[in-house]
Amino acid sequence: MRAVVQRVLESSVSVDGRTVGRIGRGLLVLLGVAEDDGEQDAQYLADKIVGLRCFSDSDSKFNLSIEDVGGGVLAISQFTLFGDCRKGRRPSFTSAARPEKAVPLYESFVTLLRERGLTVETGEFGAHMDVHLVNDGPVTLLLDSKKAF
């Protein structure tokens, strides 16, 4: 499982012109599920994101987590995080999980965050979404449950 995590002042997602998710200060999480991912990958990334110290304290040091600042999470499914661009010019998505596997793991990830007391908004899996954000910093971090980076 892979995530692009962006610290935001606000973020929203819309489908066909209607807003389906919106947060203020917090984290925008673009989440990709691989074909070989399982529940342990969802748990790993949820734990990592909840504890990730990417918010500044009074000394401007990254010492605060999303829990510490009372922020929200906007979790957006994004299979293109597993696009392989090493050959040719068209990305290959063969390592991305098919919807029948990806949807339950994406939903599990969201549930795990909510069980930790976070406010979590989502997009619509498989829909064409317009994602808006005001990046704070900017701060953008890459996470991978297989620790590929």
Give the catalytic positions in this structure: 78-80
Which single residue is written with the structure tokens 């997009």? 123
Phi, psi of 98 (to 5 degrees): -70, 155
List the alpha helices (DSSP H) in the chain: 39-51, 66-69, 99-115
How does strand 55-56 pair with strand 72-77? unpaired
CA 102 – CA 141 distance, rounded (Å) = 22
What six digits make up the tokens of 54?
Answer: 């990417």
